Amino acid sequence: MTRLIKILGPIKDAWLMVGIAILLLVLLEATLSRAFRAHLLESPSAVPVRSQVEDYRVRADAYAEASWVNDYYREFNRSHVMKWVSYLYWRRQPFRGNYINIDSRGIRRSWAPEAKPQRDSDPLEVFMFGGSTVWGAGVRDDFTVPSILAKELTKEGIECKLTNFGEAGYVSTQEVIALILELQRGNVPDIAIFYDGFSDVYAAYQQRVAGLPHNEFNRVKEFNLSTPKKLKQLRRMVVQDTVNRLSMVRFVKRLLYRFGIQEEPGFFAQEGTLAAHSLSNSEALAHAVLATYEKNIELVRALAEQYHFSYLFYWQPTIFQKAHLTEYERSERQKLKAMDPFFLETYEVVRQGSVAQTGEHPFQDISLILSEVRAPLFVDWGHLGESGNELIARRMATDVLSVASARMQAGRASLRKGREAGSRSLSFPMAGPR
């Protein structure tokens, strides 16, 4: 018995020590979790996770200390829940808030004038496509580019119905597919507007291939995991993801960042998608981005001829084109210094490309429209605040008014009749001034 006690004693002590260690780890994890939720352990330049109370962009000087910003970003982070949509991959779930409202189709609400009890004619139907800059990341419903454009057209006496088909991360090919799906449903616009740039360029930088949606490698990996042989890898991924979410692990990484042992995460680092790599053949990739974009313009041209609508394409500005940066904007650009050369190179390729130089298509490169503005405009490297959106929307309004005027002169009644009859004999203006 004495011998048994001598054997069991150390085992008992070992289990006691293990139990105490586990308890201490649980307490440490709980304490660190509370600290992270209170935003006490994040560095000023880090991107907060969705569940945190404060988004780092609330400190953007473009907001000029607006009272609604904190509440807006709480809504923004709650609304950032995606659902699977065939062909498009994702759209947001329905959401209702004070500043963000999304319908059952995943379409964000746009400003609209009060409906008139009697109309002399149908309102101008405008569809707008793009990524998160069109959707309106960082701004309220009534101050997205589509909403402000609707206000500008209304001021000019153009009764319009503007639908915001933008969604976070969409590249131009997804936008063309979104248009095709609407046409299949019988929803034909009078004017389709595309506002692109940084999503297409970033997706190419991210994957070193032009024309793919963001994070396509994740979908390839997830699809291949469906085979029985990949179940072991799937279990390993689940364990790895669980460990990475532990506050203790995040705290250790934060210490490594602070002491310069590991690089600070960038804008997309929360999903692990930003690789600070050098492109061995960046010029060829930049030209591939332009080639893909030109093909998408050609596809929309063919659809416009068949379905009798007008179209406009715009190449958007980013923080890389703004010459006079505020201190906040400079810090945002610094976060993505690895991408800076490729963005500048690709934008120059687009500027010198045939689609911009020949005027063959209704394409406008407005990437330099904000270059000389000294006022704060950006809330992060690609998204503008409400004053910046106003500058973009007003620029678009000039072209849209020209197209709308030309279409009205051609006769809206004849256009509707031609659509119903399926006639291809009518010819309509396809663009505003070049």
pLDDT digits (tens, 9 = 90+) for 22-57: 877 778 777 767 776 555 454 443 434 444 447 899
Question: Residue 12 pLDDT > 90, yes or no?
Answer: no
Residue 104: give the domain boundaries: 65-114+122-215+273-421
At residue 206 the predicted structure's pLDDT band, cuts being 50, 70 and 90, is: very high
Structure tokens at 124: 């101008």
Query: How confident is the model at residue 22, as a pLDDT?
Result: 81
Average of per-residue pLDDT across 247-267: 59
Question: Residue 91 pLDDT > 90, yes or no?
Answer: yes
Note the helical H segments in 156-224. 172-184, 198-207, 216-224
Specify the range with the lowest mean pLDDT, choosing from 261-265, 268-272, 334-338.
268-272
pLDDT digits (tens, 9 = 90+) for 390-411: 999 999 999 999 999 888 777 6
Query: How confident is the model at residue 86, as a pLDDT?
Result: 95
End-to-end Cα distance, the chain: 98
Average of per-residue pLDDT across 409-424: 57
Specify the range with the lowest mean pLDDT, choosing from 2-11, 150-159, 224-233.
2-11
Cα 379 from chain centre: 13
Residue 98 within any structural domain of the chain: yes
Q: Which residue has the higher pLDDT, 186 or 277?
A: 186
**3-state SS track over 29-95:** HHHHHHHHHCCCCCCCCCCCCCCCCCCHHHHCHHHCCCCCHHHHHHHHHHHCCEEEECCCEEEECCE
Q: Across the chain, what does the average pLDDT equal?
A: 83
Find all residues with CB under 8 Å of 23, minimum gap 6, and list them. none
Place of tokens 């940066």: 325
At residue 260 the predicted structure's pLDDT band, cuts being 50, 70 and 90, is: low
Residue 43 within any structural domain of the chain: no
Residue 260 within any structural domain of the chain: no
At residue 115 the predicted structure's pLDDT band, cuts being 50, 70 and 90, is: confident
Average of per-residue pLDDT across 401-429: 62
Query: What pairs with residue 363 in β-bridges?
Result: 313
Question: Residue 304 pLDDT > 70, yes or no?
Answer: yes
User: How far is the C-alpha of 138 from the C-alpha of 131, rounded, in Å?
Assistant: 13
Residue 58 within any structural domain of the chain: no
Amino acid at 261: I
| Cβ contacts of 88-92, under 8 Å, gap ≥ 24 | 88/167, 88/170, 88/174, 88/177, 88/178, 88/181, 89/174, 89/213, 89/219, 90/167, 90/169, 91/167, 92/167, 92/168
Question: Please, are residues 293 and 350 in contact by the beta-carbon 8 Å criterion?
Answer: yes
Q: Helix, strand or coil for residue 384?
A: strand
Average of per-residue pLDDT across 95-102: 98
Structure tokens at 196: 């692109």
Q: Helix, strand or coil for residue 6?
A: helix
In terms of average pLDDT, the best of 5-14, 162-171, 250-259 is 162-171
Residue 234 within any structural domain of the chain: no
pLDDT digits (tens, 9 = 90+) for 354-363: 887 777 779 9
Place of tokens 């949509």: 85
Task: Kindly provide the b/e burial profile for residues 269-307, where b requires at least 16 CB atoms within 10 angstroms of the residue's own CB.
Answer: beeebbeeeebeebeebbbbbbebbbebbebbbebbeee
At residue 427 the predicted structure's pLDDT band, cuts being 50, 70 and 90, is: very low
Query: How confident is the model at residue 236, as a pLDDT?
Result: 72
Instruction: Centre a 10 Å sphere on the Cβ of residue 422 and count the other Cβ atoms it contains.
Output: 7
Cα 269 from chain centre: 15
Place of tokens 């201490």: 24
Residue 283 within any structural domain of the chain: yes
Q: Which residue has the higher pLDDT, 251 or 130?
A: 130
User: How far is the C-alpha of 104 from the C-alpha of 83, rounded, in Å?
Assistant: 11
Domains of the chain: total: 1
Q: Which residue has the higher pLDDT, 419 or 154?
A: 154
Query: How confident is the model at residue 431, as a pLDDT?
Result: 38
Find all residues with CB under 8 Å of 163, minimum gap 6, and list them. 107, 110, 125, 126, 127, 128, 146, 189
Calculate what percentage of the chain has a pLDDT beyond 70. 76
Residue 59 within any structural domain of the chain: no
Query: How confident is the model at residue 226, as a pLDDT?
Result: 65
pLDDT digits (tens, 9 = 90+) for 214-245: 999 888 877 877 666 666 666 676 677 676 77
Structure tokens at 258: 């602070």
Q: Which residue has the higher pLDDT, 254 or 43?
A: 254
pLDDT digits (tens, 9 = 90+) for 183-196: 999 999 999 999 99
- Name the phi and psi angles at 315, rounded to 5: -100, 120
Question: Please, are residues 184 and 87 in contact by the beta-carbon 8 Å criterion?
Answer: no
Quote the pTM value: 0.78
For the four alpha carbons of 319, 320, 324 and 326, in that order, the dihedral sign comes to positive
Q: Which residue has the higher pLDDT, 264 or 358?
A: 358
Q: Which residue has the higher pLDDT, 415 or 203?
A: 203
Amino acid at 191: I
Structure tokens at 349: 């390729």
Give the CATH number, domain containing residue 160.
3.40.50.1110
Average of per-residue pLDDT across 85-100: 96
In terms of average pLDDT, the best of 13-27, 288-302, 347-361, 403-417 is 288-302
Question: Residue 270 pLDDT > 60, yes or no?
Answer: no
Amino acid at 421: A
- Name the phi and psi angles at 283, rounded to 5: -65, -45
Residue 374 within any structural domain of the chain: yes
Q: Helix, strand or coil for residue 238?
A: helix
Query: How confident is the model at residue 148, as a pLDDT?
Result: 98
Query: How confident is the model at residue 120, as a pLDDT?
Result: 66
Average of per-residue pLDDT across 309-319: 97
